[in-house]
Amino acid sequence: MRDERTREPSAGRYGGGRARRRGASAALALVGCGALLTAGCGGPDAQPWAGPGTSPPAGSPLAGRSGTAGPPEASGAPAAPAKGSVTVAGEVAKGLESPWGVAPLPGGDLLVASRDKGTISRVATGSGAVTQIGKVPGVAPGGEGGLLGLALSPSFATDRLVYAYFTTESDNRIARMRYDEQRGPGQQLGAPDTVLRGIPKGVIHNGGRIAFGPDRMLYAGTGESGDKGLAQDRKSLGGKILRMTPDGQPVHGNPEADSVVYSYGHRNVQGLAWDKDKRLWAAEFGQNTWDELNLIRPGGDYGWPEVEGKAGRPGFVDPVAVWKPDEASPSGIAWAQGSIWMAGLKGERLWRIPLKGETAVADPEAFLTGTYGRLRTVIPLDGDRLLLVTSETDGRGSPQAGDDRILTLTVR
């Protein structure tokens, strides 16, 4: 049973010119989207909000983020170039402990969740100062569980609500808390209001990524908690991508009217992102053979545990790209500059998957291999800028002075 995977310690990172991992080259496979097209790729109904490639309304918590949730549209945009580039533009913060979820605030500062401490801190992007705003009650860290994904309400400018996905003693759940900046440091989070409970928990495979699509609905990637059968059980919330209202209720247009389940057959989803043509993408941990990048359609069965990677079998949706687990172990993803950018944990690299529509048009490229260790979260800003969060203090890395870090990247 594979989890987020521990890699062998390496020395000399940052100051000493850390040796890059040698090993075999990445075993990559690009999968044609014929199966996806046959299955009818799609997304939720389009909503009257910021369109692809535009800036959301002033004050929106998603300002600077790309994409909208909705059905795919024909795109006249050219394919992303086969070769790209990544430049580390600066270091936003350092010395973070087990950072996981990140939510950009209006104005540019960040909220960052500590998986193991169960706290949320505000990072001042100008100075790098880190100030704890509160602790989420009920968080039970352990293994891959704890305080995981963060997201801001689409109406954050007025309601000041912060959403969090976290592990308790009994389950994984999603709750929202009001952020009151008028209160003193460490006391600025209101009591949690649980919007969804009963997501299976385990030592491994807790999923944890949450994001509001530009349809203003809340999406969550969950894991099957080590119980493989849950991924195919449509009554279970484990091994799924969920879509719900901000109050945690099923959404009109979901595959089943009374269910928040949006897609199923997933092993452990930790990456969610929308591209400029309104398609939802997800990164998923495989077991021993293939990690996956999937294009998500409502009601799609992504195969686990019946298949891993490309199956070519009727009834299952094949991934768009796959990796050997040692080269990826993917967590967060973002869309920018015509490509999906995917953070690798055991792979210790940032992957670029160049796209045209629903298809990867060239082999994925790896950047920053071994330079910053395990990579957890990648956040789109505006245009060609990304935020990248390292994950060396998660119990599986080899933390060095300054870990963990948030970096600003310029990408092409």
- The model's pTM is 0.86
Question: What pLDDT, on the 0 to 100 scale, is given for residue 34?
Answer: 33
The residue whose two tokens read 């795109």 is 75
State in Å, rounded, how far the first CA of the chain is from the last one.
36
Rounded to an integer, what distance in angstroms lies between the CA atom of residue 22 and that of residue 277?
A: 37
What is the tens place of the pLDDT at every residue in 121-132?
Answer: 999 999 999 999
201 token code pair:
């928990």
Domain assignment of residue 123, given as a range:
22-411
What is the 3 state secondary structure string of 334-387?
EEECCEEEEEECCCCCEEEEEEECCEECCCCEEECCCCCCCEEEEEECCCCEEE
49 token code pair:
């909000």
Q: In 3D, which of 292, 303, 408, 412 has the Cα closest to residue 360?
A: 292
Question: What pLDDT, on the 0 to 100 scale, is given for residue 235?
Answer: 97
The residue whose two tokens read 């600077």 is 64
Torsion of CA 179, 180, 184, 185, to 10 degrees: 20
Rounded to an integer, what distance in angstroms lies between the CA atom of residue 275 and that of residue 401?
A: 36
Q: What total of structural domains would you count in the chain? A: 1
Inter-residue contact 192 to 138 (CB < 8 Å): yes
Residue 145 lies in a domain: yes
Q: In 3D, which of 149, 156, 181 has the Cα closest to residue 58?
A: 156
Residue 266 lies in a domain: yes
Residue 371 lies in a domain: yes
What's at 295, amino acid-wise? L
Inter-residue contact 110 to 165 (CB < 8 Å): no
Question: What pLDDT, on the 0 to 100 scale, is given for residue 76?
Answer: 62
The residue whose two tokens read 């401490």 is 117
Residue ranges of alpha helices (H) inside 73-160 are 156-159
Rounded to an integer, what distance in angstroms lies between the CA atom of residue 136 and that of residue 11?
A: 35
Name the pairing type of β-strands 350-356 and 385-390. unpaired
Give the Cβ contact number of residue 372 at 10 Å. Answer: 24
The residue whose two tokens read 């119980």 is 227
Inter-residue contact 239 to 267 (CB < 8 Å): yes
Rounded to an integer, what distance in angstroms lies between the CA atom of residue 398 and that of residue 372?
A: 10
Inter-residue contact 266 to 230 (CB < 8 Å): no
- Residue 20 is given by DSSP the state P
Question: What pLDDT, on the 0 to 100 scale, is given for residue 3?
Answer: 75
What CATH code is carried by the domain that includes residue 232?
Answer: 2.120.10.30
Residue 2 lies in a domain: no
Rounded to an integer, what distance in angstroms lies between the CA atom of residue 403 and that of residue 13?
A: 11
Residue 79 lies in a domain: yes
Residues in CB range of 366: below 8 A, 6 or more apart: 26, 327, 347, 349, 350, 351, 352
Residue 86 lies in a domain: yes
Question: What pLDDT, on the 0 to 100 scale, is given for residue 2?
Answer: 53
Cis peptide bond N-terminal to 291, omega within 30: no
What is the tens place of the pLDDT at every residue in 190-237?
Answer: 999 999 999 999 999 999 999 999 899 999 999 999 999 999 999 999
In the predicted model, residues of the chain with pLDDT beneath 70 are 1-2, 6-76
Rounded to an integer, what distance in angstroms lies between the CA atom of residue 173 and that of residue 189?
A: 17
Give the Cβ contact number of residue 25 at 10 Å. Answer: 9
Residue 330 lies in a domain: yes
Torsion of CA 47, 53, 56, 60, to 10 degrees: 110
Cis peptide bond N-terminal to 137, omega within 30: no
Residue 11 lies in a domain: no
Helix (H) or strand (E) holding 34: helix 34-39
